[in-house]
Amino acid sequence: MNNFWTVSSILFIIPVCAFCALGTPPNLRDIYIGKCYEYVEVVKKDAFYRPEEVDCEKLYDLFLEAFVGRDPCDVPPERYRAYVDASAHEMTIHNRALLATGNTKPFIYQIANMGLRYFTMVDTLTVYPVNEFVWCGKKNSDELNTESCPDYGFCVNLSYVTLYSELSRKHVRQMSGTLHVLFNGSSRPMFSFRSYLVQHELIHINKTKVKKILAHVLNIPPHSEAGKSNEGETCQSLLAFREYVEKEGMQYECRENEKLVFPM
C-alpha cells in the first residue's frame, strides 16, 4: 500500500454522532474490517493502485493501539499518527484545497458530491470504517468500553475526536495555493477563535505553500440548496477572521452567496 497523501481537495467536517451517550460497539472489529474492505473494493476502488495490498486487519490493530488501555480523555492526536499514516492513500480528485466550518453541514455534502468534487473526512479510508459511532477504552485495561464514552466536548483529548484532529493536521500541512473556507452566514457567530477551524486546522497551515485564503459566506438555511441566497451575515461579519489571516502573512478575500459549482 502506498503510504502517502497527495495534496488534494478535502472538506474537514467532524461527523456529529447521534449516539454519543453509548459506548464502543461490542463487535467493533467486525464492523471495522467489513467497512474497510467495502471501502477499498467497492466504494473507492479507483483510489488505490493495488487494493489487494491494503491490510484491513493491520489497520484495525493500529487504530486500537491509539486508544486501548488509556483513559478516554487522554488520547492526544499524535496517538493516531501511525494509523493515519498507514491508512493514507492517493485521492484522484482535483487539486483544490478547501476547509468547511462545522456549521456548514446542512449543505456541504452537496458540494462534495460523495467525493467526486471534494473529499469529506468520511470519504477517506482513515474515517470510513469508524464513521457514525464512538469508541473509547479503559485505563490500564485491554478491554473496550462498550458501556459509555464521554460526550463530545467533555474533554480536550477525547478518543473519538482526536483522530479527526490528527487527520486535519496532516492534510492542512499539505495544502497549497488558495485555501477556500466556507462559512454559514445563517449561524451566529460565523467565526470564533475557539472554533475547530482555528485550533485544529489553520494553525497547521504551511504559509510557504498557502498564499491566499478565500472565505465564502453562504447564507443558506438548513435543508436548502447550495447557492440559494438567504438573508444573514455578510463578509463584514468576518473582520476578525480577516485580521487573523492577514496577521499570519496571507492574502485575504471574501465572497458572499456565490454559487459553488466546481468542475468535476
pTM above 0.75, yes or no: no
> Which of these ranges, 11-15, 166-170, 203-207, 238-242, has the smallest mean pLDDT?
11-15
pLDDT in tens, 6-52: 333 444 444 444 444 589 999 999 999 999 999 988 887 666 656 67
∠ CA 48-112-120, nearest 5°, is: 60
pLDDT in tens, 92-133: 444 445 565 555 555 555 555 544 455 567 778 899 999 889
How many C-beta neighbours within 10 Å does residue 144 have?
20
Residues of the chain with pLDDT > 90, as a percent, come to: 37
- Measured CA to CA, the distance from residue 16 to residue 13 in angstroms comes to 9
Q: What is the mean pLDDT of the chain?
A: 78
The domains of the chain are located at: 19-93+119-169
* Spatial contact of 225 and 246, defined as CB atoms under 8 Å apart: no
pLDDT in tens, 226-240: 444 445 578 998 999
Comparing 152 with 96, the larger pLDDT belongs to: 152
> Which of these ranges, 57-61, 138-142, 231-235, has the smallest mean pLDDT?
231-235
The fold of 19-93+119-169 is ADP Ribosyl Cyclase; Chain A, domain 1 (1.20.82)
User: Which string of b and e fits 67-104 if b means at least 16 CB within 10 Å?
Assistant: bbebbbbbbebebbbebbebbbbebebeebbbbbbebb
